[in-house]
Amino acid sequence: MPKPPPGVTDSDFQAALRELENVVGRDWLFSSDEDVLLYRDGYSPLWGEAEERHASAAVAPSSVEQIQAIVKVANQYGLPLYPISTGRNLTYGGSAPTYSGSVVVDLKRMNRILEVSERDKTCLVEPGVSYFDLYRHLRTNKIKLWIDTADPGWGGLMGNALDRGGGYTGIDFRDHFDAHCGMEVVLPSGELIRTGMGANPQAKTWQLFKYGLGPWVDGIFSQSNFGIVTKMGFWLMEEPEAALQVNVTVPKRRDVVPLLDTLHSLMCAHTIPSQTTVASPLMSGGTHPELLRLRASGGASDEEWNRHAAAQGRPFWSATWIYYGARKVIAAQWEHTKDRLAGIAGIEFRETASYTFPLTDQQAEAVPDKARLGIPSLNLFGSRNAVGAPPSEGHIDFSPMIAPHGEELIALSDLTGKIYADMGLTPPFVGGLMFHPRTMICFHAVPTYRNAQDNQRTRRLFESLVRSCADRGWPIYRIHAHFQALGMQMFGFNDGALHRLHETLKDAIDPNGIVSPGRYDIWPQRLRGSRA
């Protein structure tokens, strides 16, 4: 039997479940232990511990009207809801609620692609539409538009955008929240709103112009709990004539300073259109004793590092990006890029893949780096395949954001390497991804386990990383559900004024506190004294 949420009596909970069943039908209310278990966070850093967050039930509506009816029931009984689109973002908490006892509102059944305009290069989708769904729709119908997919690509457009995830193609598309245009939202009151031009029922520009008239409110529905988003428009990338994927390497540690400065400049000038990854193959992974010594030191000199790189015969840094467009334009962009970078001694330039579109199915399947061409894949899970790899059962992402300056990347790698080493752990990946042209996100995966002892160490490590990096000016841009309160503490300017504004909004928009209590540490008044 499902356990009621805190503060809801068993009889009220059972009555609420009966009413929810009346709303969605018997088949779409899930309340057995077996069913509810499927919403567990498979990568939970609290697996099996008392504090692990669990749903009490789940409900899967098929329409906006059903969502409105669910919200009405929740208000009547004080039932906390936790809406998910596909719930597959395992590294940030998956489908498990932020507040234990919440009823998951599983929106996968609302998976209609409502509109695709090849002429305007836009789409309008429901919450359950996955990257797989939209990609397949475009290919099946030979629509010459690309999606920008998260990687792995099994999630949904809306969920990823509302969590402010990123992708790999052009600048107008890979910041997934920024690429949206217009949304429809069921407010906690049950009222339905449309944002931007959608507030004019006759407007023909809902997916073309973001702002409409008056305050632009879309932002408050991302990384938050102010409503249940039921439709979103997105801008899609026109399929280019061609693409060229390139890679450059530089030999010395400090070379990353001019390398990043130049790449940053070229991205802001739109010469380099795609996400750019800069990483150190030399520093990432490996068990060479000298590598471990240098990383553990937290501040080895450039000379020491360069000696190690030379001894290993490996370049220090590697950068990868891709050009899209007409072949003649790509050739000019690449030549200009090489001219700008030519001053770095020892730099090497490579063309790693060249494509002419459209690709056949066989060609698409053979692409090694699919996300850069907007092809959803599950390749990233290959890291779980390694024979002999420690059986970590999952991971959570640590995602500090830095200015795209080489000095910052070096300082971050020194700091994180020492933190790991001090805890007896192998230092992480060194590098970053430029989802956004003016910042770099230096992801690395912190492993989670199915035993409390290892997970306690993981949590200590994660908290140390978050605090230490924030102290240096590198706060995270996104964070796992369990650590959202910690994350928000790092944004505490003026004694937490921003957080107070969030909760002021919560009280005004959701006075009964029914939508995703605690998400990004935004708690309703009634739960502030008992926040997790």
Partner 1 sequence: MPIGSSVLPQGGRIANRRDFLAGGAAFATLAITALRAGPVQARALARPFNELVSGPLLIVYDRRLLGSDAFAADAAASGYSPLGFDSDIAALWMHEIEPRLRVPPLAIAGFTSSATLFCLELLARDYGARALRRIEQHSSATPRLTPLMGAVSGAVTAPLEPVALDAGQTGVSWLIATDRRRRAPLAAPTTDDSRG
Instruction: Output 121 or 370, the one with its CB closest to partner 1.
Output: 370
The token pair at 509 is 């928009």
Smallest separation (angstroms) from partner 1 to the CB of 281: 21
Residue 78 to residues 61, 64, 73, 509, 511, Cα–Cα distance (Å): 19, 20, 8, 15, 10
| Contact (CB, 8 A) for 265 and 272 | no
| Contact (CB, 8 A) for 186 and 408 | no
Smallest separation (angstroms) from partner 1 to the CB of 460: 22
Long-range contacts of 129-132 (CB under 8 A, 24+ apart): 129/156, 129/157, 129/158, 130/86, 130/154, 130/155, 130/156, 130/157, 130/376, 131/155, 131/156, 131/157, 131/376, 132/376
Q: How far apart are CA 523 and CA 532, in angstroms?
A: 10
Q: How far apart are CA 369 and CA 171, in angstroms?
A: 18
| Contact (CB, 8 A) for 105 and 39 | no
Instruction: Output 289 or 382, the one with its CB closest to partner 1.
Output: 382
Residue 351 to residues 181, 261, 325, 390, Cα–Cα distance (Å): 35, 21, 16, 35
Instruction: Output 367 or 470, the one with its CB closest to partner 1.
Output: 367
Instruction: Output 35 or 503, the one with its CB closest to partner 1.
Output: 35
Strands annotated E in 120-191: 122-125, 145-146, 180-186
Catalytic residue among 92, 99, 168, 355: 92
With both helix axes pointing from N to C terminus, report the angle between 64-77 and 10-24 in degrees, rounded to the nearest 10: 170
Catalytic site residue 43? no
Instruction: Output 480 or 502, the one with its CB closest to partner 1.
Output: 480
Q: How far apart are CA 275 and CA 321, in angstroms?
A: 6
Instruction: Output 79 or 96, the one with its CB closest to partner 1.
Output: 96
Smallest separation (angstroms) from partner 1 to the CB of 215: 35
Smallest separation (angstroms) from partner 1 to the CB of 423: 22
Q: How far apart are CA 433 and CA 225, in angstroms?
A: 28
Question: C-alpha dihedral over 186, 187, 192, 198, to 10 degrees?
Answer: -90
Smallest separation (angstroms) from partner 1 to the CB of 135: 7
Smallest separation (angstroms) from partner 1 to the CB of 28: 7
Residue 132 to residues 113, 151, 280, Cα–Cα distance (Å): 12, 12, 31
Q: How far apart are CA 466 and CA 530, in angstroms?
A: 24
Catalytic site residue 323? no
For residue 378, list its beta bridge partners: none
Smallest separation (angstroms) from partner 1 to the CB of 370: 7
Q: Give the strands of the sheet with 431-433, arranged side by side.
A: 348-356, 242-250, 317-325, 277-279, 431-433, 440-441, 401-402
Per-residue 3-state assignment (H helix, E strand, C coil) for 9-41: CHHHHHHHHHHHHHHHCHHHEECCHHHHHCCCC
Smallest separation (angstroms) from partner 1 to the CB of 520: 25
Instruction: Output 116 or 309, the one with its CB closest to partner 1.
Output: 116
| Contact (CB, 8 A) for 350 and 248 | yes
Instruction: Output 34 or 495, the one with its CB closest to partner 1.
Output: 34
Instruction: Output 60 or 341, the one with its CB closest to partner 1.
Output: 60
Q: How far apart are CA 459 and CA 476, in angstroms?
A: 16
Tell me how far apart the 2 most distant CA atoms of the chain are, in Å.
74
DSSP code for 380: G
Catalytic site residue 92? yes
Catalytic residue among 53, 372, 459, 478: 478
Which parts of this chain interact with partner 1 (CB under 8 A)?
A: 25-28, 30, 32-35, 37-38, 40, 42, 58, 60, 88, 106, 108-109, 111, 132, 135-136, 152-154, 361-362, 364-365, 370, 376-379, 381-391, 393-394, 450
Residue 326 to residues 244, 332, 521, Cα–Cα distance (Å): 10, 10, 46
Catalytic residue among 327, 467, 477, 526: 477
Smallest separation (angstroms) from partner 1 to the CB of 426: 17
CA 338 to mean position of chain CA atoms: 32
| Contact (CB, 8 A) for 198 and 182 | yes
Smallest separation (angstroms) from partner 1 to the CB of 107: 9
Residues annotated as catalytic are 92, 477-478
